[in-house]
Amino acid sequence: MSRPISGNAFLEEIVADTPGGESLVTCLQCGTCGGSCPSGADMDHTPRQLFAMIQAGMRDEVLHSNAPWYCVACYYCMARCPKDIPVTDLMYTLKRMAVREKLYDDRDAPDWSQSFIGFVEAYGRSFEFGLATRYHLTHQPLKKVGVGPLALEMLVKDRMSLRPDRIRGLDQLRKILDKAKSLEVV
Amino acid sequence: MRYGYYPGCSLTHSAAPYDLSAQAVAAAFGMQLEEIDDWNCCGATEYITINKTAAYALVGRNLALAEAQGGLDQLVAPCSACYLNLRKVDHNMAAYPQMAERTNAALAAGGLHYDPGSLRIRHLLDVIVDDVGMEALAAKVTRPLHGLRLAPYYGCLVVRPPLNGDGPNTEYPTHLDRLLTKLGAEVVDYPLKTHCCGGHMTQISSDTAYELIRRLLQCADQYKADAIVTVCPMCQLNLDAYQSQVNRRFGTEFRLPVLYFTQMIGLALGLDPKALGLGREIVSAEPALAKIGVAAPEPEPAAPRRKRAETGLPMPHRRGED
């Protein structure tokens, strides 16, 4: 029953980078994914549309879509998909491809991910205060003015640290991550 | 009962009350939570956005450290996002040998190795419900939460995705409902109990996040809940810390405290509210706690400024100092 996927390099690339991704070709176009999506209204294309576009080889349009960047990773689509397509994981794959090729139209979300992992690579732990200063002061700071008192309250309630926590095995972690990056199939 | 314990970054700071109350409740039931030595961040939803192999290796280091710690066959995460990442990497390494091979090749650069399937990854909620059990829980209740109306909020990742098909109901679970009922609380119906809190969208697209938070608050409010009970630090942060922003955006006046299920258990066991981290929520839990005759603890005064070293460089004096 399954259609051959050869001849569509874009589809093959996505499938190869997604655990269980081969089920993408079984999409019934039922729309359960988009209908279940809490941020579906913000997306230019719902996952259902994206899957049809992928099968049609519309590489540029798909990688420019804002849909993966609006995915909140709630996994409703994945739990409900009648064909068990790993929709959320496919969104992550599309994000990675868009990041590698710098095809995203709005840099806020990819920059957030980069800032977040920058601190993880530097300290081994995430660092909320660092993120607040490094990311928010450079990304629409005026829209975030109202959040200032909130950060202060987090400090007063002893729920935010001004200093990062460091793990002892930072060298080990960096060696592992460097090796992992060299093994990433692109 | 001995468990490997992976607190995750949130529990070290923004969700410190969750860690405090989890430890207190575990101790009360004789659960040994053994922290994984030198654990690192799980990568949240961010590392997998940038690099899949590195994301797996980052989580893999924690799994390998837990396996190497010895004698542990279960790893408990109180944070739903950490729970998912640990569970997913373990599951996918077992299901896709190539992913196991690649992850272990990266781990080998740090002298580590993980055998997929050697640890059972569990969320703290499931451990308390299944291992401690409802009856043992009920037997220890000394301060029943009578008169308190609670909205049981599961969020996403403690029930989804179904990786082996053996998990709880992915849309309408009831184990937290039953647990809170055993504590004597009145559990309200909460149709949005497994809906998303917005995750990292509070940081990237507040328009998206605030609407999701508004729906969750409104639903709990319509059912006249005194508090929302959560099992995840991300859900707690979004609903608690951004509640005033949501009120401002939508002209609403929600005042719903968002508390951890471990804090509710601790209260029902008669533990000291301060030892459960109560009083550190942004939306005060005082009116809710008053209903069960508990006074909300005063927030700790800010830690005293560190004394300057005598040998340090001369610094200008601030008025009123020394």
Higher pLDDT, B314 or A130: A130
Give yes or no for residue B24 having a pLDDT over 90.
yes
Report which of B164, B176, B201, B156 is spatially closest to residue B264, judged by C-alpha positions.
B176
Angle at B189 between CA B188 and CA B190, to 5 degrees: 105
Same domain? For A131 and A169 the reply is: yes
CB within 8 A of B72, min separation 6: which ones? B2, B3, B4, B34, B66, B119
State phi, psi for B225 to the nearest 5 degrees: -75, 145
Residue A126 has its nearest CB partner, among B41, B52, B242, at B41
Please tell me whether residues A42 and A62 are part of one structural domain. Answer: yes
Domain of residue A158, residue span:
108-183
pLDDT band at B319 (very low <50, low <70, confident <90, very high): low
Task: Average the pLDDT over A20-32 and give the result.
Answer: 97
Whether residues A89 and A120 share a domain: the answer is no
pLDDT digit string (tens) for B214-228?
999 999 999 999 999
| Domain spans of chain B, in order of start | 2-124, 136-290
**How far is residue B17's CA from residue B297's CA, in Å, rounded to a whole number?**
13
- In angstroms, the Cα distances linking B144 to B98, B136, B137, B183, B269 are 51, 14, 11, 6, 8
| One CATH from 1.10.10.10, 3.40.50.11810, 2.40.50.140, 3.30.565.10 for B136-290 | 3.40.50.11810
How many structural domains does chain A have?
2
Instruction: Provide, as residue numbers in chain A, all residues whose Cβ is less than 8 Å from the Cβ of B44.
Output: 116, 126
Backbone angles phi, psi at B227, to 5 degrees: -160, 155
What does the pLDDT look like over A36-92, one tens digit per residue? 999 999 999 999 999 999 999 999 999 999 999 999 999 999 999 999 999 999 999
Q: Which residue of B has its CA nearest to A146?
A: B245
CATH number at A24 reads 1.10.1060.10
The pLDDT mean for chain B works out to 94
Per-residue pLDDT band at A147 (split at 50, 70, 90): confident
Under the banding of pLDDT at 50, 70 and 90, the label for residue A3 is low
| A113 and A83 within one domain | no
Task: Identify whether residues A16 and A35 lie together within a single domain.
Answer: yes
pLDDT at B309: 56
Nearest to A175 among B41, B95, B109 (CB): B109
Domain for residue A3, yes or no?
Answer: no
Residue B36 φ/ψ, nearest 5 degrees = -70, 120
More confident position, A6 or A148: A148
Q: Which of A139-148, B63-72, B309-318 has the lowest mean pLDDT?
A: B309-318
Backbone angles phi, psi at B15, to 5 degrees: -115, 35
Report the C-alpha gap between B55 and B104 in whole angstroms.
Answer: 13
Residues A92 and A14 grouped into a single domain: yes
**Region A16-21 average pLDDT:** 96
Phi, psi of B74 (to 5 degrees): -135, 140
- By mean pLDDT, which of A131-145, B81-95, B257-271 is the weakest? A131-145
Q: How many CB atoms lie within 10 A of CB A111?
A: 16
Domain C-terminal end among A81, A100, A119: A100
Q: A63 and A122 share a domain? A: no
Asked whether the beta carbons of residue B44 and residue A19 sit closer than 8 angstroms, the reply is: no
Look at residue B311 and tell me whether its pLDDT is greater than 90: no
**B56 in A contact zone (CB under 8 Å):** yes
Domain boundary among A39, A69, A100: A100
pLDDT tens-place string over residues B114-173: 999 999 999 999 999 999 999 999 999 999 999 999 999 999 999 999 987 667 899 999
Tell whether A96 and A13 lie within a shared domain: yes
pTM: 0.93
Query: Cβ contacts (< 8 Å) between B45 and chain A: which residues?
Result: 73
Is the model's pLDDT at A5 over the cut of 80? no
Does A73 contact chain B (CB < 8 Å)? yes
Residue A1 has pLDDT above 50, yes or no: no
Residues A63 and A145 in one domain: no
Across residues B256-265, what is the average pLDDT? 98
Query: What's the whole-number mean pLDDT along residues B39-57?
Result: 98
Rg (CA), chain B: 21
On whether residue A2 sits in a domain, the answer given is: no
Q: Which of A39, A66, A100 is the endpoint of a domain?
A: A100
| C-alpha to C-alpha distance for A163 and A155, rounded to whole angstroms | 12
For the record, the structure tokens of A70 come out as 């609006």
Do A176 and A120 lie in one domain? The reply is yes
In angstroms, the CA B283 to CA B257 distance is: 5
Q: Which fold has domain B2-124?
A: Glutathione S-transferase Yfyf (Class Pi); Chain A, domain 2 (1.20.1050)
Instruction: Write out chain B residues lying below 8 Å of A132, CB-based.
Output: none
Are A115 and A91 in a shared domain?
A: no
